[in-house]
Structure 1
Amino acid sequence: MPKVSVKVKWGKEMYPGVEVNTDDDPVVFKAQIFALTGVQPERQKVVCKGVTLRDDSWANFKLTNNALVLVMGSKEEDVPAAPVEQTRFVEDMNESELATAVIGLAEGLINLGNTCYMNATVQCLKTVPELKNALLSYDKSSGGGTAGELTAALSDTLAALEGGGAGACAGAAAKLLRALHATAPRFAERGPAGGLAQQDASECWAEIIRALQARLPAAPNQPSNRSTVIEQYFGGTLDVELVCAEAEEAPSRTTETFLQLSCFISQDVKYLQSGLRSKMSEQITKMSQTLGRDAIYTKTSKISRLPAYLTVQFVRFYYKEKESINAKILKDVKFPLELDVYELCSPELQERLMPMRNKFKEYEDATVETSLSSKNHGDSTKDVKKKDPTRSIPYWFPNDVGSNNSGYYRLQAVLTHRGRSSSSGHYVAWVSRGDAWLRCDDDAVTPVTEDEVLKLSGGGDWHCAYLLLYGPKILEVPEVDDKPEPMITEHDDEDPPIALA
């Protein structure tokens, strides 16, 4: 009988009717206890009939219906202290305060013991609506081995975050962790004290993306030559040219695919754009057929297909042999809220991007003109914008849903690390929500400003940006009539100009 109903006693509090599924790992039960008591799983000692529950096994811990389970452990904030501010009750909150309180309760993922790297990854990926919708509709009975289990667990986690409540989120996160351990056993490593060891968020991101790439097929009847949702919305291509610097050889040209770009941090790199540029032209060593030995080649890459969602990794960690750790580069590297990657693209792609880029410029010019006209007539530009309904122009090429047809991006998620090594410290997700930003620090979700997000560029022991997720910049134009905006094509320069009502 894997499912039983027990009584949980913590201090003076009694929680009857707690359902426990012993087919799940004990950490799921501890997550349920956290949702009830607020005591973090790593601070819990769970006892039944004199036997203490382990994290990895139910051995000798026999649960029966109506059994009494004792929980020992305190919340971190239970240190006696004078109240900083007066308690605010729900009925006394205004709309803004209530929204903040609800966000914190509904959208966080508890830390199951050094699982902040996984929580931050999930919160960032959740900002991609096409990926979220594909996961929520995923057929969990379709199998697929460990990749299928990980995909199904992520689907359950997103469903819980959409409104399952704190208990549902805790259970779903525990199942996701178990699926991640099954897919990549290195994430189940334990530290000297016996608890789960901290892991690298970038490696977790790559492992989850790899599983989703195997299990989420692209939607049928969409014009795209990409077979999976990941390849469709996250995948790009590079035109690569290799030129030998030591011998006269014909340049070799190939095509490579990518799911993220890397920003290498050198002494000269102060901005994301320069870090990306330096990676696009680099010196490598490879075998020369002409010389019969290794030789220096110049590798030049140009983007020939832009994905809708562009992932950028700051290469902040390097292996320090003496200490046997991945040490961290703390250098300050600025990144923008809006990114233009036009200069990184091949000439052919640049030509295809121009029609949509012209649309953006045309609209911006028209907006400035309207603003000046409104000022001359004493009107409020904000009021004009508020009155006018708008529509979105597709951000992809007509024959390639999931691409980016302008080269313009807007930042929508930042995954940060605080600490000196990838195997220690703490990971946090910072995600956009409309015109606002949220800081997702495990189960604590709080509003932040754009200025706070831009301060994540590094330079000290505060949180440093490790992974950036840019989404397509959407062109919103006034709904001036009932005719839909024509689809942008590569030869759409003669479209009628955009009019502002």
Structure 2
Amino acid sequence: MVNINVKWGKEKLAVDVDVAEPPLVFKSQLFALTGVAPDRQKVVIKGRTLGDDSWSGVTLSEGMLVMMMGSAAEIPQAIVQNANGEDSMDTSEGKPVKLPAGLKNLGNTCYMNSVLQSFMSLDVIRDAVGKYSPPANGAGPAMRVTQSVKSTFNELAIPSRANSADDAVLPLAMMQTLHSVMPQFATRSPQGQLQQQDANECFTEMQRLVLDGLKGIEGSTKTADFFRGSYAVTLKNSESEEEPEVKSTEEFYQLSCFLSQEVRYIQTGIKEKLSEEIEKNSPLLGRECKYTKKALINRLPAYLSIQMVRFFFKQSAAVNAKILKDVKFPMTLDLFDLCTPELQEKLRGNRDAFKTMEDAKIEKMRQAKQEGKDVKKAETEEIEKEENEIPFSFEDDPGSNNHGFYDLQAVITHKGRSSDSGHYVAWVRIKGDQWAMCDDDEVHAVNSEQILKLSGGGDWHCAYVLVYGPRKAYKVDAPAASAEVASENLNSATVAME
């Protein structure tokens, strides 16, 4: 291992280089530090340009200065429009929307690729990571992972990357950072091949590290607040009326849906876990007692991930076997019933905006049908405009959800029979009814109907992690009834009076 200094523009970077590895690994280290992809780097050592495969003719010495040239790509603020329509889908306005770029599989790294694609689809993470600049005095695990995620996002943002599988991003630096920071993801088979890992474990660990990494550069409103929910918990001793009830608050960054025999819908699976029986020592009775633990949500996060608990350890086969059960999940999720009465009261007023908005859409569709216009286009035309958007967080609690409604943004699926085998795929929403199936370097257009078929029940792709974002409400005037509708209402009233 040789420690050298790399001069990149005005920056000077200290890098440890293992010359036993090909130069591409060194370039991947530079990619993680600077965001400049290996194929955009020009590394010059004593007048010689460094290739990707061999150190031939190049000798590194301790503390030597190496020059690097190249610029990093920027993360776009919105989906890039596809000028030629290749590999794209039509929007409601008739303009094509470009599909995301793919990520190459480096050997059972589909779990990591699916997590990165789901993160990239969330504007709150994409925007925050795009602004990230690591502190000069820090290189901890959270900062390293956040910087690697930023570099990968930069690569995914390059327009030409979305053209074909051949142009997919090689996430080598991201994988190396992940393995370095979390060695549990670097395990290999006896044959030396990387082993499959649990995508939800990767999702929760990377989310934790990225949110921690961002905290160091953010003000009072932190990205973590957009993913942090909390429960109001009560604990009651079922064997003693004298022992007082204990109340507490617990934070969560993900909900779990347990797939018992009775569960057919995701809301039921989440609700079942909110009331459970546990055993613990009773301070009053001085022995183990059964307690009833009940929880209700007292803070809803703006963004919510839900794990479908599909895997359990099967003793006979010594594997994490999979539950293939079909459990339905909605495109729009309502968590109002899982909240405390106090939070429900706060949510109630903000929910009226959705009824007004839906009524306005129905009226516009009805009018469009009468006038022979495009009904689907009329549904959102002049309503879902950015300037009309109503804030989804409480004014005194940035990052919260102030109405309880969520729209599905991304799904990570698993195909196979155990968590340490099979294949993971990310399905991400582009816009409206338009989705993309991100199967490593292969990316295809799909729609909402195909997404809802991922509920399980067989060997097809089964939803494992669901990611919801806040449903957007828009200011609209309450729709005025047309003369025809008013006439019908008047006639109905007259008949009723007679």
The interval holding the TM-score normalised by the smaller chain is: 0.7 to 0.9
8 Å contact kept, 1:337–1:411: yes
1:63 to 56, 79, 90: 56
Q: What is the CA-CA distance between 1:139 and the residue it aligns to?
A: 0.8
Name the aligned partner's letter for residue 440 of structure 2: D
Unaligned runs of 5+ in 1: 4-18, 29-33, 36-52, 66-92, 481-496
Which residue does 1:332 correspond to in 2?
A: 326
Report matched runs for 1:448-467 at 5 Å.
448-467=446-465
Name the aligned partner's letter for residue 99 of structure 1: S
Name the aligned partner's letter for residue 318 of structure 2: S
Secondary structure of 1:23's counterpart equals helix
Which residue does 1:392 correspond to in 2?
A: 389
1:186 to 163, 184, 187: 184
Which residue does 1:240 correspond to in 2?
A: 233
Name the aligned partner's letter for residue 116 of structure 1: C
Name the aligned partner's letter for residue 157 of structure 2: E
8 Å contact kept, 1:103–1:445: no
Cα offsets for 1:147-180 (capped at 9, x unmatched): 2111110010011111175599644x11111110
2:257 to 260, 263, 271: 263
2:168 & 2:86 partners in 1: Cα distance? 23
1:313 & 1:258 partners in 2: Cα distance? 12
Which residue does 1:354 correspond to in 2?
A: 348
2:219 & 2:465 partners in 1: Cα distance? 32
Report matched runs for 1:128-143 at 5 Å.
128-142=122-136, 143=138
Change (3 A) 1:417 1:103: farther
8 Å contact kept, 2:359–2:479: no
Change (3 A) 1:104 1:441: farther
2:286 to 287, 292, 298: 292
2:151 & 2:437 partners in 1: Cα distance? 22
Change (3 A) 1:177 1:329: same
1:337 & 1:299 partners in 2: Cα distance? 30
Tell me the TM-score normalized by structure 2.
0.74
Which one is further off, 117-126 or 285-294? 285-294
Cα offsets for 1:97-118 (capped at 9, x unmatched): 4436x99996100001100000
Secondary structure of 1:332's counterpart equals coil
1:174 & 1:385 partners in 2: Cα distance? 44
Q: What is the CA-CA distance between 1:96 and the residue it aligns to?
A: 4.4
The share of aligned pairs that are identical, in percent, is 42
8 Å contact kept, 1:429–1:439: yes
8 Å contact kept, 1:144–1:215: no
Which residue does 1:156 correspond to in 2?
A: 151
Q: What is the CA-CA distance between 1:291 and the residue it aligns to?
A: 2.1
Secondary structure of 1:406's counterpart equals coil
8 Å contact kept, 1:218–1:229: no
| Alignment root-mean-square deviation, CA | 3.4
Secondary structure of 2:417's counterpart equals coil
Report matched runs for 1:115-126 at 5 Å.
115-126=109-120
1:283 to 249, 261, 277: 277
2:481 & 2:326 partners in 1: Cα distance? 41
Name the aligned partner's letter for residue 449 of structure 2: D
Secondary structure of 1:457's counterpart equals coil
8 Å contact kept, 1:457–1:464: yes
Which residue does 1:78 correspond to in 2?
A: none
Unaligned runs of 5+ in 2: 6-21, 32-37, 40-51, 59-81, 90-95, 483-498
2:190 & 2:443 partners in 1: Cα distance? 30
Change (3 A) 1:314 1:20: same
2:431 to 428, 431, 434: 434
Q: What is the CA-CA distance between 1:323 and the residue it aligns to?
A: 2.0
Change (3 A) 1:99 1:375: closer
Change (3 A) 1:170 1:367: closer
1:405 to 397, 402, 406: 402
